[in-house]
Chains A and B, each alone.
Chain A
Amino acid sequence: MSELLALDDVSAGYGEALVLNHVSLSLDEGKSLALLGRNGTGKTTLLNTIVGLTRRRGGTLRLLGRDITNLRPDQRAEAGVGWVPQERNIFKSLTVDENLTAVLRPGPWNVDRIYAMFPRLAERKKNMGNQLSGGEQQMLAIGRALALNPRLLLLDEPLEGLAPIIVDELLAALGKLIRDEGMSAILVEQSARKILPLTDRAIILERGAIAYAGDSSALAGDQTTLHNLLGVAERPGQKPARAH
């Protein structure tokens, strides 16, 4: 398997604030990674750093062996990074169709294939971006990232705030994409149980650093780690320091 993405000792943040501390990770082509952690631990910042939207304080990034550390976000998109932002950020004065065609790049994913994957979008082709339901916006955000024909798909909490029935629909679509099509992806999610079955590897962030890295299947069975790093719990061995 050849290496798709590698982060080497990356630190980043916004303005003066430092959010990511010395993160290193690598992902092989055709593999998928679950990026877990409570909120505020730096998951979105890590994705945004791969996209190129944060202030980098150190470290390097490689995509397909090419150093992308100093590339602008649009150049990284060209190099193969497909991004589904947390807030979806559908372009609101573009129609559904235009949201796809405006960013389309040549490759196996064309507009028809995206519509085939999300038939609901096909019905709403002519609607403006701000006339969609939350689930439709999420589908469009994923479709828009696919239109870039990326080598690596970054999904930032794609299930958040959606009705259970839509969550199931999206999970099915993502499963198809990742498992059947072999799309390489990094999925950020709060609910570990939903995405661990979809992914090969998992990383848990805490305070901007990697607190756990391992196989998704192993993590799914590891109740203690899940509870300690994602649930509401004290870290073992750390006593409240209120005594003095």
Chain B
Amino acid sequence: MLTILFDGVAYGMLLFVLAVGLCVTLGLMNFINLAHGAFAMAGGYLTVVLLNKFGVSFYLCLPAAFVFCAILGAVLERTLYVRLYDKSHLDQVLFSIAIIFMSIATVDYFMGASQQIVNLPPSLQGRLEFLGASVGVYRLFVIIICGLMTIALQYALARTRFGSRLRAAVDDGRVARGMGIDVTKIFAITFAVGSGLAGLGGALGTGILSLYPTFPLKYMILFLIVISVGGTTTITGPFFASILLGVADVTGKYFLPSFGGFFIYTIMVAVLILRPQGLFVRGASR
């Protein structure tokens, strides 16, 4: 039982790192980037290539995936995404789907359609006895890294000047501009960091998530659930939503395998109907 809970938490924290960039940029620019999962996939496949083809250490793959995806995100944001900000949500969704399709086909072309397996370093294999439960070392590693990332994010957002400028921009972009805050630049940086985190999540997830070309489509749905339950105005909302979703998904699959995704989709629709702004959003803000 405790093992399942532990696996669920690991999965949930991974989801959080994958999705958090999308939540923040959606709250900041009201831009729905359904293709966010493509960055995670890029991180995952980069790790596969570096690890399996070039024998780079798994521990080095993680920062490499972050940096690579952050640069990729920054370039795409400046060249393509920037043209979509003042268009309708429908256009943004179509654009995202186009990016998803292209990324799926590209990965399929270079890497093939089959699922990719990575050989984790021996130090991350095996299991530990922890509080009477058997715990995978790798999942523990995932929890530690994601936990550190979460703390770092929370610190950056709550304690740094960049964080307060970012929050100001989310609160009221128009006035923030009038107060000398370069919202466009803040958004570009946030987008890059968010993409980088997705890439890191994708790299970390190679051992947990199944990595094949339709990854962005599959996880798009999970990200949407995280957003609809967690809201976009804080990062604690998406954090708890991810943990909840991770635990619910893992326990659901364990105890009621026949229900599969049914359970979480129903939760998503129910939440959207009851609270169109997300479950964890602070009550009426004005």
Contact = CB atoms under 8 A, between A and B. Distances in A.
Contacts of A51: 178
A92 B285 contact: yes
Interface in B8-47: none
B120 interface: no
Contacts of A52: 177-178
Contact of B181 (A92, A101, A102): A102
A93 interface: yes
Contacts of A78: 180
Contacts of A72: 177, 182
Given A94-B167, A98-B164, A102-B161, A74 B172 contact: no
Contacts of B286: 92, 130
Interface size class of A (residues with CB under 8 A): 20 to 34
Nearest to B170: A93
Interface in A78-116: 78, 83, 85, 89, 91-94, 98-99, 101-103, 105
Contacts of A94: 164, 167-168, 171
B180 A93 contact: no
A148 interface: yes
Contacts of A102: 161, 164-165, 167-168, 179, 181
A98 B183 CA distance: 17
B127 interface: no
B117 interface: no
Given A94-B167, A102-B161, A102-B165, A53 B180 contact: no
Nearest to B159: A98
Interface residues of B, number: 21
B253 interface: no
A8 B168 CA distance: 33
B164 A85 contact: no
B180 A103 contact: yes
Interface string B146-169: 000000000000000100110110
A201 interface: no
B171 A74 contact: no
Interface in B265-286: 285-286
B175 interface: yes
Given A102-B164, A144-B179, 13 more contacts: A52-B177, A53-B177, A74-B177, A74-B180, A74-B181, A74-B183, A91-B168, A91-B175, A91-B176, A92-B171, A94-B164, A102-B165, A103-B165
